[in-house]
Amino acid sequence: MKKIYSLLMLVFVFASCQAQDRKAQLVSPEAFQAKVASGNVQLIDVRTPKEFKQGHLKNAKNVHLYEQDFGTQIDKLDKKEPVYVYCKAGGRSAEAVEILQNHGFESIIELDGGTDSWSEAGKPLEQ
């Protein structure tokens, strides 16, 4: 009985620690659009400047993930306010989420599937 109890406690502790580590929300294009619709949010596009020029979400700021000053650029944002992040398909934004977490951001909302899923949902991109 002690072994079962110990095992259950270990599983509970592990699960609760994992939940606390993940500060980012992965949301659908519809939910993301609802959150950023006001335009008064910290919205970052972590794609290249060339990709950004080809089309981006309205009011987004381009902060290219692989630029040397990425950390410096995100440190200019308010860490207490939510930050909304996206890329083309979700890979780079997932990397950006980890960096944002390491920089102390309290709330991170990531667009599931990036601009690919945004466009597939029939949502327009700004030029």
Domains, the chain, with CATH or none: 23-120 (3.40.250.10)
Task: Please state, rounded to an integer, the average pLDDT across all residues of the chain.
Answer: 87
pTM of the full structure: 0.81
Mean pLDDT calculated for residue range 64-91 = 96
| Predicted pLDDT of residue 62 | 98
Q: How confident is the model at residue 18 (pLDDT cuts 50, 70, 90)?
A: very low
Give me the residue label for tokens 């979700």.
Answer: 90
pLDDT in tens, 79-104: 999 999 999 999 999 999 999 999 99
Q: 3-state DSSP call for residue 86?
A: strand
How far apart (Å, rounded) are the C-alpha atoms in residues 67 and 34?
29
97: phi then psi, degrees, rounded to nearest 5: -60, -45
| Predicted pLDDT of residue 15 | 47
